[in-house]
Chains A and B, each alone.
Chain A
Amino acid sequence: MSRIVGIDLGTTNSLVAYMKDGKPCVIPGHHERTMVPSVVAMTDNGLIVGDAAKEHLTRNPAKTVYSIKRFMGKGLEDVQSELTYFPYALTEQGGVIRIKLGEKTYSPPQISAMILKELKRRAEAHLGEQISKAVITVPAYFNDSQRQATKDAGLIAGLEVLRIINEPTAASLAYGLQEKTQGTIAVYDFGGGTFDISILKLKHGIFEVLATNGDTHLGGDDLDHRIADLFLNEIHTAHGIDLSAYPNHMQTIRLEAERAKIRLSDELTTQITVDLPDGKTRFTREFTREQLETLAMDIIDRTLAPCRSALKDAELTPTDIDEVVLVGGSTRMPLVRQRVRELFGKQPHCDLNPDEVVALGAAVQADILGGGTTDMLLLDVTPLSLGIETMGGVMSSLIRRNTTIPASAKEMFTTYVDGQTGVDIHILQGERELAKDNRSLARFRLKVPPLPAGVPRIEVTFLIDANGILNVTATDMRAGQRQSIEVKPSYGLSDGEVERMIEDSFKFAQEDVTARKLIEVRLDAGALLATTGKSLSEGAHLIPHDVQESIRTAVTALQTATDGPDPKVIRGRMADLELAAKPLSVAMLDDSLKRGLAGKKVSELT
């Protein structure tokens, strides 16, 4: 069995991990950094991902996508309220948000796939083998559409997603492995865009989730926006400049707000400095932890209601919880820790790096699936109730929230009119009474043989698999025949669309490789130009004028090529320059040798 990696596909950062000698470890990239910023930028030379793309946030905000996770499995109407800060253009097609980058539009799974590909590449470079299988984590409170979108992203990236697992439970696996804990634990996972609480019972290697709750639209992002809003108002009042007309500055402010927030986890006060677009004014202010906490208070308090609901569903009280585990970057804030401590009445655990623990847990789950780890088993639950719309627009619940998965329910359908040939079924997810208040997952039409009313008997099985994803099958009970069902997702890509996107991704893979090569070769060219420049200024006097001239010509040629789009041409010019500069480097070497030898006796040289 080929290796399976564990991936934490985060709102702000993503990571990839694998199991090494029975221990999960995160795979580092350049400069030993383990986190890949979940940012994708469209440049003139193609798409770039991660740290390099993050730099484009302030340079070219309209074509730089961040926090894509917030749009996974969503329609445009779902996200209207929070579009102020997103500088890229959103449209909708077939119930799925599309992001417009230049001429092309991309679905959120396609953007996520670019991040996944970067992680895949990173893992392949580190491990020296092809990676084609992965476990990917999602917030526990993700609904079916959001999970399906994540699975689609994996497919588009050329990864077989063997399992979608919940982030807090993944974290519990990493903790459990380390501590061999027994008892009841609460995992409080507060990340960049989502909040989850999961309550688990750990016993003899079984990790049984008792209840889970959360908010898929609550995270550090919200706080960054809150802080940025404060600064924007102050800038407007003090300098009369409305920054919302300047997308680059909006991003600068947002990133500055995020950095200040992070600094204030360790410091009590910090300094904010932002250059304003008029080119002469500068916004400065002191920002204190107290001010941050005033702004953050209600956002943090919004995490407490889901915690209470989860406890209630698990039929537990805070005193029944043996340990509280903190996951996600936002749990670094002292106020968050204080609130958690107050709610559960105990000091929360944060021994493992909250940024890495989810990826580590995903690697453990990957190892379980691969057959490496056999003593641990995760029994997770479905976070939301699943049901169908019945007469009068009411939701009839078939599988209750917090039911252990895999879970199934059967429902018998018949007809109300003689000769009726179809029954429409509308699948819903959520906790509300009325169908319209819940998430519409899919609709389909059940084919029924034309018979008198009430005679047909079609049994529909709703099965939620171990990924928390719904599968529907139907059987005609009279004929004993299985019926294939074409389910049209309300907020998702159809199978055909996903297939096209996979094809596209292969087609564009060539472009992406070119873009990547171009970045690398430009860096190399830059380095060569710098050293040649240095050599010329130090050693031009050592070589004849015509050689100097030919070096300068080669330098100009390389500079011109570097601005162009073709890595091959750049490499060619680099070779030319190296050749032209050879006499110079030889002359400089001779010179330094000569100078080194000066004053030494011949006897010392032999």
Chain B
Amino acid sequence: MDHHTRSTGSRNIQMARSMCWHCQSAMSGEYFCERCVKVQPVSKETDYFTCLGLPRRLIIDQNKLEAKFYEMSRAFHPDFYQNKSETEQTISLGNAATLNTAYRTLRDPIQRAEYLLDLEAGSVKDIRTSPPADLFEEILGLQETLEAYRASDRASQEGKDLHTQLLAEHEALEQRRRDMEQQLQRLFTEWDTLQDRGEASGQTRAERDRLLKQMREILSNRTYVKSIVNDLIETIG
């Protein structure tokens, strides 16, 4: 995944549009020109929260999100542009693709948080290559067990013991992951509360930075644990 420079989100090129592509009147409507009713391309400046008409919060009402997604799909889906001009068809295709990405990103709490971090702190997510400090010894031990298991005769008593041991390790790591997700959930609430207060004092800025930093750390730890778990599952089958 990291062999290429991945462009982050949809925030690049194209200036925000202010005029209807068709009748050149000033745009006031959201996605449809108020004068000629033509569909307008979702600006590449628009973030996924704005695209789906949501505030930049981490706790989202899934039902509302889905309802909004369905409503916008009805507005943008290429099925409804079959009889329209080629330009409108192209816009509908692009808008539908953006909408689908937005929905997919925001629907999943982890992807949503990663996306928000990206928006707020403007950087690509950390990819951890060594274990987090509090997991260091546990992971080291696990790697050794994995090596021993790979080298062992699976049918032997030793192989079976190692297998049992790995299953236990697996459960422990899954528990870790669940804990991290709970921690994240708490941070989400804190974040949203802070945003709702809407103050811009030095204190809230420090608070904001602390929350972002903590979330980033947990997210990258979680990704690391997840990849270890996947590795583990692949080995023990």
Contact = CB atoms under 8 A, between A and B. Distances in A.
Contact of A369 (B79, B100, B103, B104): B79
A404 B100 contact: yes
A298 B5 CA distance: 46
A544 interface: no
A10 B95 CA distance: 33
Contacts of B3: 390-391, 396
B216 interface: no
Nearest to A396: B1
A390 B70 CA distance: 36
A406 B97 CA distance: 5
Interface in A151-209: 162-163, 203-204, 206, 208
B6 interface: yes
A377 interface: yes
Contacts of B73: 206, 377, 379
B41 interface: no
A466 B89 CA distance: 11
Nearest to A465: B93
A465 B82 CA distance: 13
B177 interface: no
B97 A368 contact: no
A203 B70 CA distance: 9
Given A206-B70, A390-B3, A414-B5, A406 B100 contact: yes
A565 interface: no
A350 interface: no
Interface in A363-419: 365, 368-371, 374, 377-379, 390-391, 396-397, 403-408, 410-414
Interface string B70-103: 1001100111101100000000011011101101
A468 to B, nearest CB: 12
Contacts of A414: 5
B7 A459 contact: yes
B76 to A, nearest CB: 9
Contact of A204 (B6, B70, B93, B104): B70
Nearest to A374: B80
Contact of A406 (B1, B78, B104): B78
A414 B3 CA distance: 11
A7 B7 CA distance: 40
Contacts of A390: 3-4
A27 B141 CA distance: 68
Interface string B1-45: 101111100001100000000000000000000000000000000
Interface residues of B, number: 27
Given A406-B93, A412-B4, A1 B103 contact: no
Nearest to A376: B79
A309 to B, nearest CB: 15
Contact of B79 (A208, A378, A480): A378
B78 A466 contact: yes
A377 B104 contact: no
Interface in A451-508: 459, 463, 465-466, 475, 477, 480
A410 B44 CA distance: 13
A204 B74 CA distance: 11
Contacts of B98: 408
A397 B3 CA distance: 11
Nearest to B14: A480
A438 to B, nearest CB: 16
Contacts of A391: 3
Contacts of A413: 4
- Among B74, B98, B100, max chain A CB count under 10 A is at B100
B82 A377 contact: no
Nearest to B66: A203
Contact of B97 (A162, A379, A412, A463): A463
A417 B82 CA distance: 45
A410 B101 CA distance: 12
Given A405-B100, A463-B97, A477-B13, A396 B83 contact: no
Nearest to A379: B73
A408 B95 CA distance: 10
B4 A371 contact: no
Contact of B93 (A369, A370, A377, A463): A463
Given A371-B83, A379-B77, A465-B93, A412 B7 contact: yes
Contacts of A480: 13
A466 B80 CA distance: 12
A408 B101 contact: yes
A407 B101 contact: yes
Name, among B12, B97, B101, the residue most crowded by chain A CB atoms within 10 Å (CB to CB).
B97
A406 B101 CA distance: 9
Nearest to A390: B3
A411 B6 contact: yes
Contacts of A411: 4, 6-7
Interface of B: 1, 3-7, 12-13, 66, 70, 73-74, 77-80, 82-83, 93-94, 96-98, 100-101, 103-104
Q: Which 10 A-B pairs have the closest CB atoms?
A: A408-B97, A406-B97, A390-B3, A404-B100, A369-B82, A412-B5, A406-B96, A466-B78, A206-B70, A410-B7
Given A370-B83, A377-B77, A459-B13, 7 more contacts: A371-B82, A377-B79, A391-B3, A408-B98, A463-B94, A465-B78, A466-B78
25 contacts: A1-B83, A162-B82, A163-B79, A203-B66, A204-B70, A370-B83, A371-B80, A371-B82, A371-B83, A377-B79, A379-B73, A390-B3, A397-B1, A404-B103, A405-B100, A406-B78, A406-B93, A406-B96, A406-B100, A407-B97, A411-B4, A411-B6, A412-B4, A463-B97, A466-B78
